[in-house]
Amino acid sequence: MTTTDTDLTREESAYLYLAGFGKGAEVTVVTIGRSGETVLPGIVTTPQRDGEDGTGSAYLTVTGRNGHMARVTVSALLSGDCRIAGWDDAADGYWGSF
């Protein structure tokens, strides 16, 4: 199965997108909360792990240069509460869409 398959659900597409960021990948994470956006440039320190509640709870962990950490889940990507992209893609405005 590839990300170009047309039979993928949004959840499967987000799962595969998240899986594409391996340990050591340089990424930018944007979380959206009540107080606005928080941007965390960092490195994937824990590659994608399957969560306990199925595909939607699959996650990876990013650690920023300042030591702050973010856990990015498939569910957060689908809800729009979080975005993740490689540094170059983020600079070009590409965040993936599901």
Residue 97: inside a domain, yes or no? no
Sheet of 54-64, strands arranged across: 69-73, 54-64, 36-51, 26-33, 82-86
Residue 75: inside a domain, yes or no? yes
Residue 37: inside a domain, yes or no? yes
pTM here?
0.85
State the residue range of the domain holding 79.
Answer: 10-89
What is the domain count for the chain?
Answer: 1
Residue 4: inside a domain, yes or no? no
Contacts of residue 63, defined as CB under 8 A and 6 or more positions apart, other chains included, come to 42, 43, 45, 69
CATH code at position 52: 2.30.30
pLDDT in tens, 42-94: 999 999 888 777 787 899 999 998 899 999 999 999 999 999 999 999 999 99
Residue 39: inside a domain, yes or no? yes
Please identify which residue in the block is written with the tokens 């944007």: 30
Residue 21: inside a domain, yes or no? yes
